[in-house]
Amino acid sequence: MPARVEDQKDVPKAALMSYKKEQDKLTDDLRRQARQAYYASVSFMDAQTGRVLAALDRLGLRDNTIVVFTSDHGYHLGEHGLWQKQSLFEESTRVPLIVAGPGVTKPGVAVSPVGLIDLYPTLAGLCGVKTPVNLQGQNLAPTLQDVSVEGRGWALTQVVRGGGFKRFGASPSVGDNVHRFFGYSLRTDRWRYTEWDEGKEGRELYDHKADTKEITNLADDPSEAAVVAELSAKLHEAVKASFPADGKTPELRPEMWAPNLTNP
């Protein structure tokens, strides 16, 4: 039997499209091995980080170096019946973000959501480098100096799915007449709200105060209608603010999906 879970029943189909048929062949032993390999990779990276920090100390550069530990995405290990990445669930969208060095006054933990798009303005701010006025990211230097200082209070994530729709200004062309649509997810301190193809392919709402594993989709719960309306408006505003001035996203071309090629 394929590795499925009960919480998939109230989830839009688009949310599970990263599922791969190869997963049906996973035995319990292979799943254990895969999880073991993942945690071994985490331990390996922890050791390599230690080597970098030791080198900075040895060279006398620690007090003049900003160190950032992060990742480009999270990773599913069977949660929601998924493995690897390319989802809008917490397992795939959440990444570590640890910053140390000049400008970080004392150790602390900030819990307000931020995004990788904030790294450039933050590093520029810590280094005293002037940045363009139209940056989408926020400078997190004030938070690094005082963790009680909150930023915008949300993080936006997107993925592309297959389909036949053209909304949110998305170009439908990828390869030979293959159409795609976007999924966008807004994460606040308490909520995760997701829309697939502007809601046409489904919506998701999870209350992280009571449901940190994102098991129960509350998007169609009448008692949460006001929350859905508020977060939907905020999500649409955030997405449209990320578009070029003409309101259209660049065309999605096949070469943009090849990491070893330079985008034109």
Residue 203 lies in a domain: yes
Q: What is the pTM of this model?
A: 0.84
Residue 253 lies in a domain: yes
Residue 262 lies in a domain: no
Residue 231 lies in a domain: yes
Q: Is the pLDDT of residue 186 over 90?
A: yes
Q: Is 260 helix (H, G, I), strand (E, B) or coil?
A: coil
Q: Is the pLDDT of residue 169 over 90?
A: no
**pLDDT given at position 255:** 43
CATH number, position 158: 3.40.720.10
The pLDDT tens digits for 198-236 are: 999 999 999 999 999 999 999 999 999 999 999 999 999
Residue 263 lies in a domain: no
Q: Which of 144, 140, 149 is nearest to 100 (CA)?
A: 144
With bands split at pLDDT 50, 70 and 90, how would you rate the model's confidence at 62?
very high
Residue 264 lies in a domain: no
Residue 1 lies in a domain: no
Query: Residues near 173 by Cβ (< 8 Å), separated by ≥ 6?
Result: 179, 251, 252, 253
Residue 211 lies in a domain: yes
Structural domain containing residue 139: 6-257
Residue 122, judged by CB atoms within 10 A of its CB (0-12, 13-18, 19+), counts as buried
The β-bridge relationship of strands 203-207 and 191-196 is antiparallel
Number of domains into which the chain is organized:
1
**pLDDT given at position 263:** 39
The pLDDT tens digits for 115-141 are: 999 999 999 999 999 998 888 899 999
